Structure 1
Amino acid sequence: MDEQIVVAGALFSEAGLLVAQRQRPPELAGLWELPGGKVAAGESDAEALARELREELGVEVSVGARLGADVALKAGMTLRAYRATLTSGSPHPHDHRALRWVTVDELDDLPWVPADRAWLAELADALRSGAPLD
């Protein structure tokens, strides 16, 4: 079987970085992550991320550049992050317990899902540069 790609969106605004609190599975419930999901057969990473953020948050986004390195998940799954820019809508937690905008000073204080911790340095750099837009 082919490798399963999972995409995550680093959605930035003047308010900071949008993070989502997991509702499930039980071992990850309550932890924070970048929202996203699995790439379906025939979809590009960008198409999958735009679809996942539409489903999970109710927003339309423009997907930009990759952020950080790929993160190996369980056997055969790879997680990758992309910058995303909100083009319409206001985020709502359809598939999460909660959403919040965080600043660079709050990044290290959040209980992150383990895989997303790999990107904290890149996320902090992006927030410090004030820079979401690609």
Structure 2
Amino acid sequence: MTAKSAPRTRCVGAIVHDTNGRVLLVRRRNPPGEGLWSLPGGRVEPGETDETALVREVREETGLSVTVGAWVGTVDRVAPRGVYEIHDYACQVRSGTLRAGDDASDARWADSAILATLPLTEMLHDTLAAWGQLPRR
């Protein structure tokens, strides 16, 4: 089975920067990516739009309510049974208090110095760099 013929699961991710230019990250509690830092997000459930799924996932994982903005890019990641097709969107925080929840064991804002020290999910740093979405400080 090739990557193109493998079952695809639609997922979403949030690229959120705070007023200091830091990027929002969560540490994954479960496989795949257990223990690694990534963007908040997850699977789009049946009947959900990307926007609805993203608002739900960010709230569950971080306690923050976001407004979903423009689509930034899409990446494919190998999944246990196929491929995760992850659509990433720029988001802005509307309200809430940052806290880890759901399948995140930790959540934090990361500037460039902190980002350089964290174990990240595969290709996250390179993808954010290519999209011009690294922390601004």
| Selected match of 1:41 from 39, 43, 46 | 46
1:116 aligns with 2:121: no
Amino acid at match of 2:51: A
| Distance in structure 1 (CA, Å) of the matches to 2:70 and 2:7 | 24
Once the two structures are TM-superposed, the CA of residue 8 in structure 1 deviates from its matched residue by: 0.9
Is the CA contact 1:73–1:79 (under 8 Å) kept in the aligned structure 2?
Answer: no
1:106 aligns with 2:114: yes
1:65 aligns with 2:70: yes
| Distance in structure 1 (CA, Å) of the matches to 2:106 and 2:49 | 27
Q: In structure 1, the residue corresponding to 2:72 is in which secondary structure?
A: strand
| Distance in structure 2 (CA, Å) of the matches to 1:45 and 1:55 | 15
Aligned to 1:56: 61
1:26-66 deviations in Å (ceiling 9; x for gaps): x6322100011100112111111001112222221100112
Q: CA RMSD in A?
A: 2.3
Aligned to 2:91: 84
| TM value normalised by structure 2 | 0.78
- Which stretches of structure 1, 4 residues or longer, exceed 4 Å deviation after superposition? none
Name the one with the larger helix percent: 1
1:84-130 deviations in Å (ceiling 9; x for gaps): 10001112101322111111343333211115345231222xx33x8
- The count of residues paired between Structure 1 and Structure 2 equals 126
Is the CA contact 1:73–1:115 (under 8 Å) kept in the aligned structure 2?
Answer: no
Once the two structures are TM-superposed, the CA of residue 2 in structure 1 deviates from its matched residue by: 7.0
Closer, same or farther in 2 for the Cα pair 1:115/1:71, shift >3 Å?
farther
Is the CA contact 2:98–2:108 (under 8 Å) kept in the aligned structure 1?
Answer: no
- In structure 2, the gaps of 5 or more residues are 1-5
| Distance in structure 2 (CA, Å) of the matches to 1:36 and 1:24 | 13
Is the CA contact 2:12–2:43 (under 8 Å) kept in the aligned structure 1?
Answer: yes
Name the one with the larger strand percent: 2
| TM value normalised by structure 1 | 0.80
- In structure 1, the gaps of 5 or more residues are none
Amino acid at match of 1:77: Y
